[in-house]
Chain A
Amino acid sequence: MEEFLRVTGVGKTFGAVRALNDVNLLASKGECIAILGENGAGKTTLASVLIGLYQPDSGQIVLDGVQISVTSPAAAIEHGIGMIHQHFSLVGAMTAEENILIGLPREKRGPAARARIRQLCDDFDFTVDFNVPVAKMAVGMKQRVEILKALFRDVSILILDEPTSVLAPTEVAPFLQGVRKLVATGCLVFFISHKLDEIREIADRVMIMRHGRVEGILPVASTPMAQMSALMMGQADADQPTEKPNTKEMRLDTTQAAKALVVSDVSLTTSSGAEILKEVDLTLRAGEILGIAGIDGNGQTELSEVITGLKRQTSGTILLGDKEISGSSIAARIADGIGFVPEDRHAEGLVLSLSVEENFAFRSIGEDKFMSGGMISRRAIGKIAEDAVKAYDIRPSNPKLNASALSGGNQQKIVMAREVARARNLLVVVQPTKGLDVGATQFVQDQIRAVAQSGVGVLYISTELEHVLEISDRVAVMAFGRITGVVNPQNTTLQNIGLLMTASPEEVV
């Protein structure tokens, strides 16, 4: 096929993070290329470079034989490159038509524009309400407006960033139909996703990214799904049995221990009808570490939120020990001894502008140990913080510093120290090692093992499969909001887990 787009040696660094590292790519017209990768693999960064939002530190982009430099989104539009962002870039207060016309030169906005927008709608079988502001539209319609916006600008390259993640299940098929039509007209489409079944359905080739590098560009039809997921997760030899360190032998046999957490038949449906969790059943015993593996966005985060009370399940029950907590408030669950290390420590785990010691105390500030005579006891807070800073080797070791002054690893230690102290019965950790270096990762995992050793049930949710396999006694795999299987990490293969992770909804009944 004829070469249309050539990307060579593109790199981009944010601070100390290499978001893109020597990315190379060749593509032709009328092709749909899926970009597959975990969160933070560099998919969106690459797209942002192509549409001029980010300026690359190195590398070249050659379009139709001519080297181009995309210095701004306006320049990208001139070159016919468009993108549909995951969270859309529409002006909520304006109508579909106004949104489509923003930024165009005057001659393109005449009365003919109106007719052309309607024509595009007909060509692609799009239903769009032109009388209401975009803010009042359903997500699927907003997405159609975004696509119309790109089509109206005559794009020859369209990048779709996780386009189906916001759609209700019924909206996905018509959307993919539209994409197919677009590809048939000769458009080069990039389809960023981590849903393998959609990639299989829509894409000609799949480009797999990991840690800012391209791991491979493979034809979809002849590549097994398990190989894709293995490349994505950085395990080239996926059929090797997983090796487990010997830490296991030190662990107690928990199969007969009391149940710490029982989740039965829990479902969660959003107001737009998307089923995030479907009939989830889990049992976690005291002292056990239960890993939850799965590709990001398959309901793991929501499961943690339902258990800790941040979200309310649509149906089903949750037992903590013998006590039903299905309807309890967050505060009641904390009082019942649930500790929670959330995925986003900046947004949910810490208040960065408060000091380290205040961060230790603020979720339990009303407790007697932090109070004296109705006032906050600075001394008590300082004492507890100092002990934790010592025990966890948090650096710098001054608990009066703002939490924002600490590195990511040390911030995570604060959250860990606080939540471990709180977790008398259950500790829920989500992506606890995200963005941490090797040493900090090891420390966090040692702490989690120690907590389990003391008889607390631990739910370890992570997309980093190696870590889940290393630390867990059992691993439950989630896909499309369901538990697709529970395996023993000692005697399973990555191949097997890969299949469970990518099981399509029909297979999982």
Chain B
Amino acid sequence: MFDLVLLGDVLAGTARLGTPIAFAALGGVIAERSGLYNIGLEGQILAGALGAAAGSFATGSALIGLGCGVICGLISGLFLGYMSIRLRINQLVGGIALNLLLAGLTAFLSRQIFGAQAGGARVEGFTQIHIPLLTDIPVLGPSLFSQDPLFYLLIGIAVLAWYWLMKSHKGLDLRAVGENPKAADLAGVPVFRLQYLAISVSGALAALAGAHLVLSQVYVFAEGMSAGKGFIALAAIILGRWSPIGAVCAALFFGFCDAAQFKLQFSSPEVPYQLFLILPYIASLIALVILGAKASAPASVGLPYDREHR
């Protein structure tokens, strides 16, 4: 009954499907810890995906593609920051507007770049890295130690982000901004500079999610290929309690649900596949209800800060 090969497959799928959600969720954590909602993750994934595809298409180098994707994410993050910090637009509305803008813009630009051919153009991507010895561990080995480079990058960034946010002095300042920007301002923290930094990094991380989709999964850009991952990432932030490590774990949990439902689809062809498709979302809802209740968001997230406000 219990099939180790199947388990190994599901675990490998977990890593593959969870990575983009995890990148986006990490970005969301950084932004929300600075007091800004990033609802634009979904759109920024698309921006990153298009940038990565175009860069790789033009140069034939996956690494340059990755760089282009990250730059697209940074720019979209800065734009969202300008709307939220400088213009003090409602951050939910601003994020949704960005999603709509980027969905349209990436679709338009992709046709300009790749032509009208169906399925887009195939681009260079990353290949899996097999870590010697560890790959040979049964079940876990092939799934965790034969992944593409972006998976290892994710783990590195998650640990780094956790250390920076929770242990470094700048991280303390950033968290203070998210909790009580006025207190941080009065203590001498450059509130707006840190918020711009956080929202740009947030966009770049979301773009890495898009780059992963293109460069490590399908090697082609497709319109709307983010397929809701940016929104699941928002749930992963809450489930991970605004901790970088927690958010990555939550994202991998969603990836696991997704991988499991693929396997279930194949093993039970007589059941309508739509039922399995909703599994990850049901799981995320249940997880949020059980674990999310006690979580507390940064106290000032979503509230624009105005120094002279009376």
Contacting residues, chain B, for A94 (C-beta < 8 A): 172, 175-176, 179
B186 pairs with A91, CB closer than 8 A: no
Contacting residues, chain A, for B190 (C-beta < 8 A): 74
Cβ of B5 under 8 Å from chain A: no
In the assembled complex, how far is the CB of residue A504 from the closest CB belonging to chain B, in whole angstroms?
33
The listed residue (A89, A92, A98, A106) touching B186 by CB distance below 8 A is A89
The listed residue (B179, B184, B308) touching A103 by CB distance below 8 A is B184
Asked if A14 meets B310 with Cβ closer than 8 Å, knowing A73-B188, A103-B184, A103-B189, the reply is yes
Cβ of B61 under 8 Å from chain A: no
B163-207: which have CB < 8 Å to A? Answer: 169, 172-173, 175-176, 179-180, 182-190
Asked if A91 meets B182 with Cβ closer than 8 Å, knowing A53-B308, A109-B169, the reply is no
A54 pairs with B189, CB closer than 8 A: no
Contacting residues, chain B, for A89 (C-beta < 8 A): 180, 182-183, 186-187
A-B contacts besides A77-B187, A89-B183, 18 pairs, CB < 8 Å: A14-B310, A55-B308, A73-B185, A73-B187, A85-B186, A89-B180, A91-B183, A92-B180, A93-B299, A98-B172, A101-B169, A102-B173, A102-B176, A102-B184, A103-B187, A103-B188, A106-B169, A149-B187
B298 closest partner in A (C-beta): A93
Contacting residues, chain A, for B294 (C-beta < 8 A): none
Contacting residues, chain B, for A77 (C-beta < 8 A): 187-188
Main secondary structure of the interface of A (DSSP, over half): loop
Contacting residues, chain A, for B187 (C-beta < 8 A): 73, 77, 89, 99, 102-104, 149
B310 pairs with A92, CB closer than 8 A: no
Q: In the complex, what distance in Å separates the CA atom of A14 from the CA atom of B310?
A: 9
A90 pairs with B188, CB closer than 8 A: no
Asked if A54 meets B308 with Cβ closer than 8 Å, knowing A101-B172, A102-B173, the reply is yes
B172 pairs with A90, CB closer than 8 A: no
Q: In the complex, what distance in Å separates the CA atom of A77 from the CA atom of B310?
A: 22
Residue of B179, B180, B187 contacting most chain A CB atoms (<10 Å)? B187
Q: In the complex, what distance in Å separates the CA atom of A91 from the CA atom of B184?
A: 8
Q: In the complex, what distance in Å separates the CA atom of A99 from the CA atom of B173?
A: 9
B187 closest partner in A (C-beta): A103
Number of B interface residues at 8 Å Cβ cutoff, please give it. Answer: 21
Contacting residues, chain B, for A74 (C-beta < 8 A): 185, 188-190
Size category of the A interface is 20 to 34
Q: Convert A183-215 into 0s and 1s, putting 1 for each residue whose CB lies closer than 8 angstroms to a CB of B.
A: 000000000000000000000000000000000
In the assembled complex, how far is the CB of residue A129 from the closest CB belonging to chain B, in whole angstroms?
19
In the assembled complex, how far is the CB of residue A64 from the closest CB belonging to chain B, in whole angstroms?
20
Contacting residues, chain B, for A83 (C-beta < 8 A): 186
Contacting residues, chain B, for A73 (C-beta < 8 A): 185-188
Q: Convert A360-400 into 0s and 1s, putting 1 for each residue whose CB lies closer than 8 angstroms to a CB of B.
A: 00000000000000000000000000000000000000000
Contacting residues, chain A, for B172 (C-beta < 8 A): 94, 98, 101-102
Cβ of A51 under 8 Å from chain B: yes
Contacting residues, chain B, for A91 (C-beta < 8 A): 175-176, 179-180, 183-184, 299
Contacting residues, chain B, for A51 (C-beta < 8 A): 186
A104 pairs with B169, CB closer than 8 A: yes
A115-144: which have CB < 8 Å to B? Answer: none
Q: In the complex, what distance in Å separates the CA atom of A85 from the CA atom of B310?
A: 14
B307 pairs with A53, CB closer than 8 A: yes
A51 closest partner in B (C-beta): B186
Q: In the complex, what distance in Å separates the CA atom of A74 from the CA atom of B191?
A: 10
B280-297: which have CB < 8 Å to A? Answer: 296
Q: In the complex, what distance in Å separates the CA atom of A85 from the CA atom of B296?
A: 26
B309 closest partner in A (C-beta): A53
In the assembled complex, how far is the CB of residue B33 from the closest CB belonging to chain A, in whole angstroms?
11
B190 closest partner in A (C-beta): A74
In the assembled complex, how far is the CB of residue B297 from the closest CB belonging to chain A, in whole angstroms?
10
A92 pairs with B184, CB closer than 8 A: no
A90 pairs with B169, CB closer than 8 A: no
Contacting residues, chain B, for A106 (C-beta < 8 A): 169
A19 closest partner in B (C-beta): B310
